[in-house]
Every structure is written in C-alpha cells, then in structure tokens.
Amino acid sequence: MEHTGQRIRYWRRRRGGISQKVLADRAGLTQGYISQIESGQRALDRRATQVAIARALNVTVAQLLGQPGDPTDPAKAVAMAAIPEIRSAYLEISVEERRKPERPREAVREAVARSTILRNNADYAALAPGMADLLRDAFYFGGPEFVELTFNARFLVKGVGFPDLASGIADAGLRCARNLEHSEWIGLAEISRLNAMPPENAALAGRLASRTAAEMQPFLGATAVRQAYGNLLCRGAIANAIAGQSGTASDLLDEAYAEARSLGETEDGGFGRLWFGPTSAAIWHVSVASELGDSDTAIRVARTVDPRPVRAPNRIVYFWTDYGHALTAAGNDAEAVRAFSEAEMVDPQRTRMDPMVLDSVAAIARRAHRKAI
C-alpha cells in the first residue's frame, strides 16, 4: 500500500521536480527528515508537519494523506456507499428544503439517540445506512435532535475521508444551535465544526474555540453547558497545538483540567456523550503534548492514565494512537506497536482507516526489517 512518503515524492516531482532540499527549506524542515519520510523509515505523524509540507507542495493535507483512502476496506466500503445520498440530503438542507417525515418526531429522536451510541462506539458501518433520511427528518423538526445528528453525521463523513462535506454538515448544525439559543447545543455544534476543519485552518479553529467558549461562560451554572465547555476547551487546545501556539494550548488545557476536576467523571457519557471529565482531559493532554512534539510529556501523562472510565471507543482510540505516535517519536518501537494494537482492539474501524497510524506501523516494520538485515 502506498505510504505518505511516496505521495510526497510524487507531488515533489509534479511541482517542477523540486529537490528534497528545496522542499525541506520551504517547509522549515531538514533534508534528512524529508528523505526518511519518503523512504518510509519515518512516519509523518504530526499534523503541524503535514500542514508545512502540504503548503510547500501547494496541495491539501487530505491529498498528502491519500484521503479518502482505501475503498476496499469492508467497513469503509459500507460507510462510503451512503456518502452520495448523505451529500444529496445536505444540499437540500443547505437551501432550507424540508420534507415532512413519515415517522413522528419521537421516532426521529429515538433514531438520533441510537446514532449517537453508534458514533460513541465508532461503528461507521452501522452508522451510515439510513443517515441521509434521518438528516432530512431531523432537519424538518429543527430541534436539538438535528444538532445532535449533525455531530454524528460529521463524525461519519469526516472519518471516511470527506472533510468538505463534514464542514458543511457541521455548519448546518451550528446554524440550528444558534437559533435554539441554548449554550450547551451551541458548544456541541462548535466542537463539531472545529472537528470538521482541516489542519490547515488550525489557527482559525483555535480562535473560534476561544470565542465560543467566552460566549458560553455566563451560562456555566448548568452541568451540560460545563461539559460542552470543557470539551470545547480541549478541542481549542489541540487546534492551538497544531498551529504551534503552545502557550495558548497549555492555558486552555489547564482550564479544561480545572473544569474536569470540578465536574468529576460521568457514568453515562454526560451531555452529547462527550465523556468530559478528568480522564478525558488527561487523554486530550496526551494528544496535545504529542502534537507539540513533546513526546516525554505525552508518554509520562499516558502512563498515569487508566482510560476505562471513558466508555467511548471513539475517544479511547485517540489515547492509544497518540500515545503510540509519542512512543514512535521517542524511538520506543516495541511499546508503540503495543499501543497501536490496543487502538485496533478498541476501535478497529477507525484504526484501519487512519493514514497516520498505517504509516507509523509501516515505518516501524521497515525499521525492524532494516535492523534485521
């Protein structure tokens, strides 16, 4: 299977045959680093570096990572089969066209709740069928259930490699949330919008997170608002980490930790099944440190985390993958393989569709083969 380094070489040649040295200079990296990535000896596992190389080559990060990826993966094939109809439903929603559902509103709400459980379990193959009609039905009623569903639909389409469609769906959810004028739903919809944004727009995502968090502060008396607020702070922290704003990322993470300690763990996932609490904040800490290139901190924090209180495969998978990336960066390939294996056991669909994980595992295998020769 083609790895990211091969795509970098392809685009380098398409851009006038620029040398590794020229690409490295444009991206603020070293020629040796580019050479290791192109040969597959090293994985391109930090989003900030992906953005730097993509910009230097005048391509998108999605193009660099080869998204939407391998269509032959069984779970992905099922999910991708639903994309054309989901896109059609989104276009209807974008022009405010409403179809009266054949099912009552309570049935729509129940279907949305089931989709949230599937999103929580990261079951793309089960989440996709029927999503288009459910979007149309929930949009007709225009209540909180539509905001919740757009969160789930965005998760689905972004996960299988359609970021532009994900952004459109997330924006529709945010418009609805602002019409509802309930801070917890605005927070959830903003989280969805930020998750849909490509890493090229990380600085913008960081600013939007802080802006919406400030809007929510007068309403933090409600637990649901605080749970959405805390998760939004974490999302802002990772966005700032990708943008290289380590100070702001740290400040947002500190505030999120304070909220998490005050709230404690949730037994049922809390508002939106965001699972915000001390364990979730620590998982975000691992992700932020790994993205900032602070592998020592990421590994140190990860070794103190028991992820079991967060009963959400779609969150736990990122703990194990980001821990694995940090271990890989630190040269601990054996432990990294164990971390990636844990990720696959927790969430096999997401792990097998993640180009960063696939590249990292392939790079580890190549290094092991090279050492054995």
Domain 1-69 class in CATH? mainly alpha
State the average pLDDT over residues 320-330. 95
Instruction: Give me the sign of the Cα torsion angle 332, 337, 343, 345.
Output: negative
Check: CB of residue 215 under 8 Å from CB of residue 231: no
User: Cα 89 to chain center, whole Å?
Assistant: 23
What's the mean per-residue pLDDT of the chain? 95
Digit-coded pLDDT (tens) for 188-209: 999 999 999 999 999 999 999 9
> In 3D, which of 167, 187, 169 has the Cα closest to residue 178?
187
Tokens of 201: 């727009």
> Residue 353: which pLDDT band, with cuts at 50, 70 and 90?
confident
pLDDT at 160 over 70: yes
pLDDT of residue 202: 98
State the average pLDDT over residues 285-310. 97
- pTM, rounded to two decimals: 0.93
Check: CB of residue 240 under 8 Å from CB of residue 249: yes
Check: CB of residue 24 under 8 Å from CB of residue 34: yes
DSSP codes joined into one string, 308-321 = TTS--HHHHHHHHH
Digit-coded pLDDT (tens) for 228-269: 999 999 999 999 999 999 999 999 999 999 999 999 999 999
pLDDT at 1 over 70: no
Domain boundaries, the chain: 1-69, 73-181
Digit-coded pLDDT (tens) for 272-285: 999 999 999 999 99
User: Cα 76 to chain center, whole Å?
Assistant: 16
Interatomic CA distance for residues 164 and 132, integer angstroms: 16
Tokens of 280: 């979730």
